[in-house]
Amino acid sequence: MGAMSELLANWKQTLLAIVLLQAWVALLCHIAPRLVAQIDAAQMVRSRPAPAVRRVAHALVLVLTVALLWLPVSQHAWVVMAVAACGASLLALAWIDARTCLLPDGLTLPLLWAGLLVNLDGALTPLRDAVLGAAGGYLVLWCAAAAYRRLTGREGMGYGDFKLLAALGAWLGWTWLPALMLVSSACGVLAALLGRAMGWCRAGQALPFGPWLALAGIMALAWQG
């Protein structure tokens, strides 16, 4: 009888985690296009509708729901839900940055604080490593951008990128920072070379770095999981 009660309680926790995850993804589907529209309006750019984002998000919800339902022991459901919500947020940030070349504080900063909260009990990494990851992630890109600006006299990276890497450091810990930088930089360089070869972008054109940071973060979260 006790085992049955524990099983029911675990499934209740799993279902609650699923509901909260779906609510967060639905909220992202609502606010991400609005953020893009606001940024486009500020930049005097006509915003285009984004039905594809909603279709991808709905597919993501379905996949994550099935994954949570298959968990044999739901004591991990909250960690899986948190990681899935982080992944969904990274997808939203990647799309926003690809569309606008900006990463809004309204998503990057909550993601940073959420990473620290998730790791209060060391769910993904010890809290000390999470704090060092957040600080180190910001400082690494800040120093790189400052050096680039001093050498070239141009801005090479925005503060949103600093905050996004800080958020990833908070979720994954400082030990992941070199891998995140390596993967995101390699993907960014390959994308730039391919874009120039295909005529999609011009030499010297500023390209967003956030999508590649987000991709590296999703890969790291999957590996960590």
Residue 92 corresponds to which tokens in the numbers above? 């939203």
Going from N- to C-terminal start, the domains of the chain cover 1-224
Residue range 148-173, pLDDT digits in tens: 888 887 777 888 999 999 999 999 99
Asked whether 93 and 107 are in contact (CB, 8 A), the reply is yes
What's the pLDDT at 154? Answer: 77
Confidence of residue 87 (pLDDT cuts 50, 70, 90): confident
| 180 vs 38, residue with greater confidence | 180
What's the pLDDT at 98? Answer: 87
Residue range 102-139, pLDDT digits in tens: 898 888 999 999 999 999 988 899 999 999 999 999 99
Neighbours of 55 (CB within 10 A): 11
Share of the chain above pLDDT 90, in %: 34
Which residue from 86, 73, 52 is spatially nearest to 219, judged by alpha carbons?
86
Q: What is the 3-state secondary structure (H, E, C) of the chain?
A: CHHHHHHHHHHHHHHHHHHHHHHHHHHHHHHHHHHHHHHHHHCCCCCCCCHHHHHHHHHHHHHHHHHHHCCCCHHHHHHHHHHHHHHHHHHHHHHHHHHHCCCCHHHHHHHHHHHHHHHHHCCCCCHHHHHHHHHHHHHHHHHHHHHHHHHHCCCCCCHHHHHHHHHHHHHHCHHHHHHHHHHHHHHHHHHHHHHHHHCCCCCCCCCCCHHHHHHHHHHHHHHHC
- In this structure, of 16-30, 47-61, 96-110, the range with the lowest mean pLDDT score is 47-61
